[in-house]
Amino acid sequence: MFRRTFWFTTGVAAGVWATTKVNRKLKQLTPESLAATAANKALETGHRLKDRAVGFALDVRDNMAQREAELGEALGINADPELPAPRRHNAIENNRSNPKYIENPKYIENTTYSYNRNEDH
């Protein structure tokens, strides 16, 4: 009697286990699940490619700087050039409080051009 109960229980457990495995596999093979899996793998691949491209670009930049330094040493132009002084626009320098521009301003103050946009219509 105990043997029959043992084997019956073992059979029921094996049936439940097999049914669960089959149902899981069937859910994995539905179109929605396959699409989600494909999208996830595409995202992972995209991230890997992006990381590789960034790494490649950084390697190129490092090697470019190294080669530029080597060429600078070979040609004798390693001295840092002085940058020119920053330029200011005339509009900034031509303010009305500056006595240099009160008598002879560089900007156009009294023009015959009208800014009225309705004039042409």
pLDDT for 102 equals 58
Rounded CA-CA distance 66/54 in Å is: 18
18-37: pLDDT as tens digits: 999 999 999 888 889 889 99
In the chain, % of residues over pLDDT 90:
44
CB–CB of 66/72 below 8 Å?
A: no
- 0.75 cut: is pTM over it? no
Confidence check: pLDDT of 10 > 90: yes
52-97: pLDDT as tens digits: 999 999 999 999 999 998 988 888 786 666 666 666 555 555 555 6
pLDDT for 15 equals 96
Which band of pLDDT confidence, cut at 50, 70 and 90, is reported for residue 48?
Answer: very high
Q: What one-character-per-residue DSSP string does 87-103 give?
A: P--HHHH--TT-GGGTS
CA 108 to mean position of chain CA atoms:
45
Rounded CA-CA distance 43/105 in Å is: 61
